[in-house]
Every structure is written in structure tokens, then in C-alpha cells.
A and B are shown apart, each in its own frame.
Chain A
Amino acid sequence: MRFIQFTQPSARSAAPAVRFGGRFGGAGIENEIDWLFGTALTGFAGTARGGQFPVDLYEDKDNTYVRAELPGANRDAINVEIVDGSLSIQASRKEKSGEGENTVSFSRLVSIPDEVQADKVSAAYENGILTVTLPRKEEAKPKKINVAVN
């Protein structure tokens, strides 16, 4: 039986106090790697906590509105679907980090309170906010909607 001991270099022990943003010039490779991992996992300044984004829900007598904050999303990568009485919003955004480009994707399922007319759902994406308008009334079965985002 082999016993291998493996210790991770600790950013705290290797460098003096970490400054704002976790970057400290000249502190060594451990801090750089930690910082790169941090930004890779949390995405653009920490928005993607598991691909979540804030969503508002409104309604009036005619429609239900779902408003999602998706700054910088690729228009053709925004996907809106109605599945089993919930609204599924998926989007992705390309981010340049260093030399490479990586894609961050968001996904969220929002439950819609009432039956909606699936074929009359519309969506608009402006200034980074996606607004989905769902006219209320009957809805028999789940249906996939292809939404043209303008």
C-alpha cells in the first residue's frame, strides 16, 4: 500500500495579505491560478451562481409578464420555451478572458401562475432585459415556442 501525501499550496501562506480583487502583483503563481479559477467559475463578475439571473414577475388582467436581466446575451442564443406550465429561459453570453473566449450559459425555470395562450407569447430583448409577455387564458398541453427576439 502506498501512502501519498499531497498538499495544496495555500494562497494565504505563500503571499502577504490579498488585496482587492484577490490579485497582488508578484505574489506568485498560486494566487494567479486561484484568481483564474475564481473568475472562471463565477463568470462575469459573479453573475453566474449556477447560471441564475434575476427575474421579475408581473401581471395585469390580460397578460403575465416575465422580465429577466440578461445583459450582454447573444440574441440568437436566447431560448424561451413553455414546458408544463413553467417558462424556461435559456441564454448564453460569450466572454473574452485573456486570449480565449468562453461561453457562459444561463438557465432558469419560472413557474407561471395561470394558464397562458402559448401561441400568443411574445418576447423582446432590449438593453439587456428580456421581457416575455404571456397572454392569459386557456392552455391545454405543453408546447414549444420559438420566439423571435427582436
Chain B
Amino acid sequence: MSFFNTLAPSSNGSCAESDATATRRPRYEVVETEGSYDLTVSLPGVAKDGLEISDEAGELTITGKRTAKLPEGLEVLHRETSDAAFKLVLTHDNTVDAGKIEAELKDGVLRLKLAKAESAKPRKISVS
């Protein structure tokens, strides 16, 4: 039984909508510990006010808008990044206790500690 597989990205068809609402999935990593899942998401250029985290119906959604402050009149010589917002949706099927999510955003890296729901933790059953 691997709980790691429950925290999987949901298949939200990544079809590009219009340019204004185009999003791309950020790089992320999930590490499972005994009592929680540690989620690290790479969100360069996203500050706290551009970040939204919500949890609903067993799905964790992270949206990050880049606060690109480029002055006017700039000529682009070479671009390897994109200004699209980041969006990450992970399904956890309620193995995560949504009331106890800790999040920290520092230097464009978001670290989330998702405490496992009580029902998901291994439980010892004693025999009388």
C-alpha cells in the first residue's frame, strides 16, 4: 500500500486556453514521512500576494501568479521563461487533514506540510 500514489496530479487536461489564462504546471516534489506529506513546489517569481492555496473535495489547488516587474520599453533579446501563471492540482482523496496544512513561501519555493488525516495513519489494533 503506498500512500504516495494517492497524492497524484489529477488529469486536468492541460489544454491551453487563451493566453491570458494560460497556466503551466510547476515543478514539484512530494516526500512522504510518517505523519505528513512534505510538498515542495518551485514557483519562481511568485510572491505571497500572488499565491493561492485551496483545498476542496479531496483536491489541493495551488495557483501562483508571477509578479513580473519589467519596466516599460524593454526589448526582449532572449527568453527562456514564460509569464504564465503556475497551477498545480493534486488529488489526495482526503488522506490529508486539510485543517492542518502548513505552508511557507520563501525565495520562490513553496513548502507545504500536509498532515495526514487520522484515518490514513496506520493504527494499532490491540487484541483483547
Interface residues in chain A, defined as those with a beta carbon under 8 Å from any beta carbon in chain B: 19-21, 23-26, 39, 44-47, 54-61, 64-65, 67, 69-73, 75, 97, 113, 125-129
Contact = CB atoms under 8 A, between A and B. Distances in A.
Nearest 3 Cβ contacts at the A-B interface: A128-B108, A25-B2, A71-B108
A51 B85 CA distance: 24
B35 interface: no
A56 B80 contact: yes
B74 interface: yes
Contact of A57 (B28, B30, B77, B109): B77
> Which of B45, B77, B107 has most chain A Cβ within 10 Å?
B107
B73 A127 contact: no
Contact of A56 (B31, B47, B78, B106): B78
B1 interface: yes
B27 to A, nearest CB: 4
A97 B33 CA distance: 11
A128 B45 contact: yes
Given A20-B8, A69-B81, A71-B44, A125 B107 contact: yes
Q: Does more than half of chain A's interface fall in helix, strand or loop, or is it mixed?
A: mixed
A71 B4 contact: no
Given A45-B27, A71-B44, A72-B106, A57 B78 contact: yes
A127 B44 contact: yes
Interface of B: 1-2, 4-5, 8, 27-31, 40, 42-47, 67, 70-71, 73-81, 106-109
B27 A46 contact: yes
A19 B75 contact: no
Contacts, number: 101
Given A45-B42, A72-B108, A127-B45, 9 more contacts: A24-B5, A44-B29, A54-B80, A57-B79, A58-B74, A65-B74, A126-B47, A128-B43, A128-B44
B26 to A, nearest CB: 9
Contacts of A65: 74
Contact of A59 (B43, B75, B80): B75
Contacts of B67: 127
A100 to B, nearest CB: 13
A72 B80 contact: no
A45 B44 CA distance: 14
A127 B40 contact: no
A23 B46 CA distance: 30
